[in-house]
């Protein structure tokens, strides 16, 4: 299974990179059988996604180790993707970058594999590779820094998850998470907070580096299976990298198999050390 770095290297060989000032948010891999590819590419877990009008494709989504989305694309029409497969065979064929393209072809395409709208720029060849500019819609999650006004929503999410807390409790805790080493990020859809992640960074004594720990991750049950947990964990990864952490860790209860599946899908592995706790 290729890594995001390997996929990017292959795309560069095809002459396709993220334009200056943009960031690749997804990489498209052309395949003749999306369901087969999704099964073969363990340990990634793929979920069926909306088709992509711009490319003429059925789609399956997963998330790579750095938070980039991997999109498996199977032709749904005799369109651009079918031509790419006939010309090049299976392999990386497209990238999506955040924003609105400088010269979109026609109108915005509402049906994108990533949700939202995508513009396909005019490729050098009709069979690709393809560059798509992606613009989020109101039903997509935005990950941002927490503010004091989020306390009530976080308290509700935490209480529903089985950890009773009131807004005043959360405000007090947020006061302790206001540095680059103790951070809370929230996921917001249409102005409503639907999830959050709390991360604490600690120095290690046995080495001269740091370790990040995810202390809490909650997503509203009503919006699960939409990749928001993946996005919040990607934000946690970014915090760890920005603070020079050697690795990032979390605790997963075995009574929550869906959470274990999420953590494994984004690269977390069970460690060799036992997790012990002593109540004081």
Please report which confidence band the pLDDT of residue 106 belongs to, taking 50, 70 and 90 as the band edges. Answer: very low
Domain final residue, candidates 86, 105, 135: 135
Q: Which residue has the higher pLDDT, 37 or 4?
A: 37
Question: Taking 80 as the threshold, does the pLDDT of residue 17 lie above it?
Answer: no
Both 190 and 240 in one domain: the answer is yes
Q: Are 74 and 58 within 8 A, CB to CB? A: yes
- State pLDDT tens for residues 200-210: 999 999 898 99
| Domain annotation covers residue 277 | no
Question: Taking 70 as the threshold, does the pLDDT of residue 83 lie above it?
Answer: yes
> What is the pLDDT, as a whole number, of residue 113?
75
> What is the pLDDT, as a whole number, of residue 272?
65
> What is the pLDDT, as a whole number, of residue 107?
46
**pLDDT (mean) for 268-273:** 74
**pLDDT (mean) for 233-262:** 84
- Short-list 2, 98, 115, 141, CA closest to 59: 115
Both 12 and 126 in one domain: the answer is yes
Strands (E), the chain: 24-30, 47-52, 57-63, 69-75, 91-98, 117-120, 130-135, 142-145, 182-189, 192-203, 210-219, 245-250
| Domain annotation covers residue 270 | no
Question: Taking 90 as the threshold, does the pLDDT of residue 40 lie above it?
Answer: no
> What is the pLDDT, as a whole number, of residue 125?
80
CATH, residue 86:
3.10.180.10
| Domain annotation covers residue 274 | no
Both 18 and 127 in one domain: the answer is yes
Residue entry with tokens 């206001």: 178
Q: Quote the CA–CA distance of 280 and 277 in Å, as a whole number.
A: 10
**pLDDT (mean) for 49-55:** 81
* 3 state DSSP class of 235: helix
| Domain annotation covers residue 197 | yes
Number of structural domains the chain divides into: 2
Q: Which residue has the higher pLDDT, 192 or 50?
A: 192
> What is the pLDDT, as a whole number, of residue 153?
93
Both 146 and 62 in one domain: the answer is no
Both 146 and 129 in one domain: the answer is no
CATH, residue 178:
3.40.630.30
Task: Give the least confident one: 38-52, 101-115, 236-250.
Answer: 101-115
Strand ordering across the sheet containing 24-30: 47-52, 57-63, 69-75, 24-30, 91-98, 130-135, 117-120
Classify burial at 257, counting beta carbons within 10 Å of its beta carbon; exposed 0-12, middle 13-18, buried 19 or more: exposed
Both 163 and 201 in one domain: the answer is yes
Q: Which residue has the higher pLDDT, 3 or 46?
A: 46
Q: Which residue has the higher pLDDT, 211 or 25?
A: 211
Torsion of CA 130, 135, 138, 144, to 10 degrees: 110
Task: Give the least confident one: 25-34, 70-79, 126-135.
Answer: 126-135
- State pLDDT tens for residues 151-193: 999 999 999 888 999 999 999 999 999 888 999 999 988 778 9
The mean predicted confidence, pLDDT, of the chain is 83
Which whole-number Å values give the CA distances from 182 to 9, 71, 175, in the listed order? Answer: 34, 33, 10
Structure tokens at 80: 């651009």
Q: Which residue has the higher pLDDT, 269 or 89?
A: 89
Q: What angle do CA 241, 245, 247 make, to 5 degrees?
A: 100
Domain final residue, candidates 135, 167, 197: 135
What Rg, from alpha-carbon coordinates, does the chain have?
20
Containing domain of residue 162, as a range? 142-265
Q: Quote the CA–CA distance of 253 and 251 in Å, as a whole number.
A: 7
**Phi, psi angle pair for 180, to nearest 5°:** -70, -15
> What is the pLDDT, as a whole number, of residue 185?
93
Q: Quote the CA–CA distance of 190 and 44 in Å, as a whole number.
A: 29
Domain final residue, candidates 87, 103, 135: 135
| Domain annotation covers residue 12 | yes
Stated pTM of the model: 0.55
Both 115 and 43 in one domain: the answer is yes
Question: Taking 80 as the threshold, does the pLDDT of residue 219 lie above it?
Answer: yes
Residue entry with tokens 């947020």: 174
Q: Which residue has the higher pLDDT, 105 or 130?
A: 130
Peptide bond into 129 cis (omega under 30): yes
């Amino acid at each position: 299974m290729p890594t995001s770095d390997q996929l990017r290297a292959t795309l560069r060989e095809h002459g396709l990179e993220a334009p200056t000032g943009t960031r690749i948010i997804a990489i498209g891999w052309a395949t003749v059988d999306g369901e087969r590819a999704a099964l073969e590419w363990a340990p990634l877990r793929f979920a069926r996604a909306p088709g992509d009008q711009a490319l003429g494709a059925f789609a399956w989504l997963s998330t790579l180790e750095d938070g980039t989305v991997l999109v498996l694309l199977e032709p749904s029409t005799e369109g651009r993707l079918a031509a790419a497969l006939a010309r090049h065979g299976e392999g990386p064929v497209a990238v999506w970058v955040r924003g609105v393209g400088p010269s979109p072809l026609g109108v915005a395409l509402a049906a994108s594999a990533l949700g939202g709208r995508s513009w396909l720029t005019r490729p050098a060849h009709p069979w690709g590779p393809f560059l798509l500019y992606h613009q989020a819609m109101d039903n997509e999650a935005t990950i941002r820094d927490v503010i004091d006004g989020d306390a009530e929503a976080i308290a509700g999410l935490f209480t529903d998850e089985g950890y009773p807390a009131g807004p005043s409790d959360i405000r007090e805790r947020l006061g302790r998470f206001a540095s680059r080493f103790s951070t809370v990020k929230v996921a917001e859809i249409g102005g409503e907070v639907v999830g959050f992640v709390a991360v604490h960074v600690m120095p290690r004594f046995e080495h001269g580096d740091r370790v990040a720990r995810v202390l809490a991750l909650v997503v509203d049950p009503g919006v699960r299976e939409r990749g928001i947990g993946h996005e919040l964990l990607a934000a946690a990864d970014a915090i760890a990298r920005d603070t020079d952490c050697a690795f990032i860790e979390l605790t997963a209860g075995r009574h929550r198999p869906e959470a274990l599946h999420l953590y494994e899908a984004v690269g977390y592995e069970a460690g060799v050390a036992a997790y012990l706790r002593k109540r004081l």
